[in-house]
Structure 1
Amino acid sequence: MRPWVTTVAGDADLPEAVDLVVIGGGIIGCSAALWAAEQGLRVALLEKGRIAGEQSGRNWGWVRRMGRAAAEYPLGIASLTLWAGLNARIGRDTGFRRCGIVYGAGSAREEAWLDRVEAEARRFGLGVTRLDRAGLADHFPGARLAATTALMTADDGRAEPALAAPALAEGARDAGAAVLTNCAVRGLETEAGRVSAVVTERGVIRCGAAILAAGAWSRLFCGNLGIDLPQVRVRSSVLRTAPVAGGPALALGTGRFGIRPRADGGYTVARRGRTPVQLTHDLLRQAPRFAAGLRQNRREISLTVDRSLIDTLVTPRRWRGDEISPFERCRVLDPAPQDRLLAAALRDVCHSFPALAGVPVRERWGGIIDVTPDGVPVIDQAPGISGLVIATGFSGHGFGLGPGAGQLAAELATGAAPLVDPAPFRLARLPGARRAAAAAGPLHEGA
């Protein structure tokens, strides 16, 4: 299965009772479990497949503050601070390095976007540098860039998706958390309207709180609880090259490609400019909620038809706690990469950086990104279910936000003072978000 990520072996025994259950072994869930375990709480981190098996192990590896939605800036700033201390904190390498990120613009439309990014970054106190052609030549010697201007944050960074979430999971285990892989959560039990247990394929774990950090699976899980969570799936494709000398030392995003230096001496490359949105029956059901975003970003979006159209049609939307759930039938979302897009991205990269001409491609992979109508995540108490916090919908921004977002979710779940103001991440801001009058499936009151 692509791409390679560090293997985390799951614990053999299911704990009978914990204070907090974290559902989902991506960067958010692992960060939440780490913080909570460090506070002395009994924690169980449950993953239906493998740690970092989906988007947390398939993203570009950028750790940035610049270029975010305004709502995300405080969390992005806090997360970068946390990233900088993670390796020492857990005694493992996440691959994090402060190395600089650059956004380039080569058209009037891209320059207008860059102007907005610069103004927003300065409003939040970021040290950004505007580069002209000469500045670009200094930072990318030998390059043939179409960009005429660029914006750089020298102290933003990068980390390795293959290392980061697994390292956090092991750090959480060192702090006392139970880590279970290939252990799907089917649903919840409640008492007096509050979470009292989670129902897994291996048995029941009693708990006082739970965090749902299930990425692209969150809408399906919520739907079975009677919660209508606005979220769609977007397909991504990425490749990594063999090690090569003479390439860029900084991560760069242009109107056509994104490139990041890797710790192994190669590069992570992806296409920018057109986002493939999977055409599914669930997307059609949610079309009114996403209509404004689709219109606003119509130049950056293309609808794609693949087997997910059939998969989502036949996937059950309701199940009981004693039934095999969809999470057991599909342990890892592993879509095929879109080779045509990757070939175009690599062609543009090699034209821009002649040193990369002919570099072998070591791996290609696809991934599924969980997206909300406004592109901002949900980190909030679930409506109508006390003790359940939802942390999802990171819209391709979750890796860099991971440490802060996971900590914030755990703080909300435990009643601790929040790292940043959680108000911008409330579920109620999204159109149509609600809790049905009667929950379905494995939400058992008084169990």
Structure 2
Amino acid sequence: MAERRSLKTDVLKTDVLKTDVLIIGGGIVGTSAAIALRRRGMSVVLLERDLCGARSSGINFGGVRRQGRAFGQLPLAQRAHRIWQSLPALLGTDGEYVRSGHLKFARTAEDFGKLERYRDGAAAYGLDLELIGAAALRDRFPWVGEGLAGASLSPEDGQANPRLVAPAFARAARDAGTVIREREEVVDVGRTHNGFHASTASGLTVHAASLLNCAGAWAAPLAARFGDIVPLTQGHPAMAVTEPMPYFLPLSLGIEGGDIYCRQVARGNVVFGGGRVEPGEGGVDAIRSTTSALFRQMRSLAALVPRLEHAQIIRTWSGIEGYLPDRQPVLCASPGTPGLFHGFGFSGAGFEIGPAAGEVLAELVVDGQTPTPIETFDLRRFAPTLPPPPPHQPLQTQQHNHAATAPTTQGAH
């Protein structure tokens, strides 16, 4: 595993920072937004309560898939697909990203019918899927277990290592000129006469013209400060990885119903997950996978890929993800607070679309609009009586000094 170093030493300790845009949350969405904003000449400060990429962006399964997403997400997923292709140029690393293909199985004829209907609907969004019947499935993939009704193949979907990719986005944001402050828990945030202010537990204050709420599973209280109420809950995936095994599995695997998924990395380890675990006495910061969850996963995994029946597990983990009832994210301008933008609630499926979501947020800040359809992600779906977003004045016309430099500081220690 690559060393995860803190970015906090990039800037001397200060009492006050002034910036065009303040981002709260250092996952892939927040850091990719920072990169895009710096590209447009905006000064950016990003505050992260832990380490950048240490939460859901860094602990997820690592699937980079479009297959299986709600149709409303596919335009965003297709945009992200193009970003992932250029990852080395964007981040300076490929993050072990490969377009391995994603194979989604059906256990029953009914499930196979769902895959067929999904293929037909996804074609309108430019996603080409291949349906494979039961007989052909075993012929092409002899390691597949018996009794499956078929599968759907998305040949250009893939996988990556989130423990490399998530910190790399933060490093790229820093290298682009973003001021990143880690281990800065925001304890107060509000509006000022010309923007926003935020204060942290360490005594840091940030003033900004615009605010991006990319706080992941902790985003709902921040949104509520401005009257934006969303039914966000926390979920905790059960994840594990096996010992290295002879390489045999070139594809990332899933199944209709989503109770198990797995992929094999080049060094031979098989990463898998499925289901959730509940916090114990230590709370969410000490959450771990459980024996019962692992037994359920291994039974499902062995039925799907029999040669994994005796694989030895060497590590397990869990994390904290933000979920919304319809499993769709919130990605929009605030309905009632000009200059406030939300990007959270990706419900365990934000790794692939996160880079595109960050670019969309940057476009909303600078241009007031985005060419990517995001109406499905408006938070007013949970509060339909809220008014439409107020007219947005692009940030470039609100301020007069947009040199691509770090924010000004006052009261430096």
- TM-score in terms of structure 2 length: 0.85
Residue by residue over 1:8-44, the C-alpha shift from the partner in whole angstroms, topping out at 9 and shown as x without a partner, is: 4323435721111111111111111111122222111
* Matched position secondary structure for 2:198: strand
Residue number in structure 2 paired with 1:422: 374
Residue number in structure 2 paired with 1:53: 54
Q: Does 1:262 align with 2:260?
A: no
* Matched position secondary structure for 1:80: helix
Q: Does 1:402 align with 2:400?
A: no
Residue number in structure 1 paired with 2:364: 412
* Matched position secondary structure for 1:208: strand
Indicate if the aligned counterparts of 1:38 and 1:172 stay in contact, CA closer than 8 A. no
Shift of 1:173: 1.0
Residue number in structure 1 paired with 2:141: 140
Separation in structure 2 between the aligned mates of residue 135 and residue 6 of structure 1, nearest angstrom: 44
Indicate if the aligned counterparts of 2:245 and 2:269 stay in contact, CA closer than 8 A. yes
Separation in structure 1 between the aligned mates of residue 215 and residue 30 of structure 2, nearest angstrom: 8
Indicate if the aligned counterparts of 2:231 and 2:324 stay in contact, CA closer than 8 A. yes
Residue number in structure 1 paired with 2:405: none
Alignment of 1:382-393 (within 5 A): 382-393=334-345
Shift of 1:411: 1.5
Separation in structure 2 between the aligned mates of residue 5 and residue 52 of structure 1, nearest angstrom: 13
* Matched position secondary structure for 1:367: coil
Residue number in structure 2 paired with 1:7: 5
Separation in structure 1 between the aligned mates of residue 160 and residue 234 of structure 2, nearest angstrom: 24
Residue number in structure 2 paired with 1:130: 131
Change (3 A) 1:61 1:419: farther
Residue number in structure 1 paired with 2:23: 22
Residue number in structure 2 paired with 1:438: none
Separation in structure 2 between the aligned mates of residue 138 and residue 151 of structure 1, nearest angstrom: 15
Separation in structure 2 between the aligned mates of residue 306 and residue 158 of structure 1, nearest angstrom: 31
Change (3 A) 1:47 1:5: farther
**Which residue identity lines up with residue 25 of structure 2 in the other structure?**
G
Residue by residue over 1:179-219, the C-alpha shift from the partner in whole angstroms, topping out at 9 and shown as x without a partner, is: 21101222324234x53332223311121111111111011
Residue number in structure 2 paired with 1:294: none
Alignment of 1:41-440 (within 5 A): 41-192=42-193, 195-202=195-202, 203-254=204-255, 255=257, 256-271=259-274, 307=281, 333-415=285-367, 417-431=369-383
Shift of 1:139: 4.2
* Matched position secondary structure for 2:311: coil
* Matched position secondary structure for 1:45: strand
Deviates more, 1:28-37 or 1:351-360: 351-360
Separation in structure 2 between the aligned mates of residue 343 and residue 422 of structure 1, nearest angstrom: 39
* Matched position secondary structure for 2:235: strand
Residue by residue over 1:407-426, the C-alpha shift from the partner in whole angstroms, topping out at 9 and shown as x without a partner, is: 11122122265140222211
Separation in structure 2 between the aligned mates of residue 159 and residue 197 of structure 1, nearest angstrom: 36
**Which residue identity lines up with residue 115 of structure 2 in the other structure?**
L
Shift of 1:65: 1.2
Separation in structure 2 between the aligned mates of residue 163 and residue 28 of structure 1, nearest angstrom: 15
* Matched position secondary structure for 1:270: strand
* Matched position secondary structure for 1:183: coil
**Structure 2 residues without counterparts, runs of 5 or longer:** 388-413
* Matched position secondary structure for 1:409: helix
Separation in structure 2 between the aligned mates of residue 5 and residue 399 of structure 1, nearest angstrom: 20
**Which residue identity lines up with residue 234 of structure 1 in the other structure?**
G
Shift of 1:105: 0.3
Change (3 A) 1:67 1:171: same
Indicate if the aligned counterparts of 1:54 and 1:367 stay in contact, CA closer than 8 A. yes
**Which residue identity lines up with residue 33 of structure 1 in the other structure?**
A
Separation in structure 1 between the aligned mates of residue 279 and residue 233 of structure 2, nearest angstrom: 14
Deviates more, 1:332-341 or 1:125-134: 332-341
Separation in structure 2 between the aligned mates of residue 16 and residue 246 of structure 1, nearest angstrom: 50
- TM-score in terms of structure 1 length: 0.79
Separation in structure 2 between the aligned mates of residue 339 and residue 51 of structure 1, nearest angstrom: 29
Shift of 1:242: 2.1
**Which residue identity lines up with residue 200 of structure 1 in the other structure?**
T
**Which residue identity lines up with residue 7 of structure 2 in the other structure?**
A
Determine what percentage of the aligned residue pairs are the same residue.
Answer: 29
Indicate if the aligned counterparts of 1:228 and 1:432 stay in contact, CA closer than 8 A. no
Shift of 1:263: 4.5
Aligned length: 381
Separation in structure 2 between the aligned mates of residue 113 and residue 218 of structure 1, nearest angstrom: 33
Change (3 A) 1:424 1:52: same
RMSD: 2.5
Separation in structure 2 between the aligned mates of residue 381 and residue 204 of structure 1, nearest angstrom: 23
Separation in structure 1 between the aligned mates of residue 384 and residue 6 of structure 2, nearest angstrom: 38
Indicate if the aligned counterparts of 2:21 and 2:45 stay in contact, CA closer than 8 A. yes
Residue by residue over 1:238-265, the C-alpha shift from the partner in whole angstroms, topping out at 9 and shown as x without a partner, is: 1112221143210111254211223543
Indicate if the aligned counterparts of 2:233 and 2:323 stay in contact, CA closer than 8 A. yes
**Which residue identity lines up with residue 387 of structure 1 in the other structure?**
G
Separation in structure 2 between the aligned mates of residue 7 and residue 338 of structure 1, nearest angstrom: 29
Deviates more, 1:84-93 or 1:403-412: 84-93
Deviates more, 1:252-261 or 1:70-79: 252-261
Change (3 A) 1:141 1:88: farther
**Which residue identity lines up with residue 57 of structure 1 in the other structure?**
G
Change (3 A) 1:268 1:426: same
Shift of 1:377: 0.7
Change (3 A) 1:135 1:4: farther
**Which residue identity lines up with residue 28 of structure 2 in the other structure?**
I
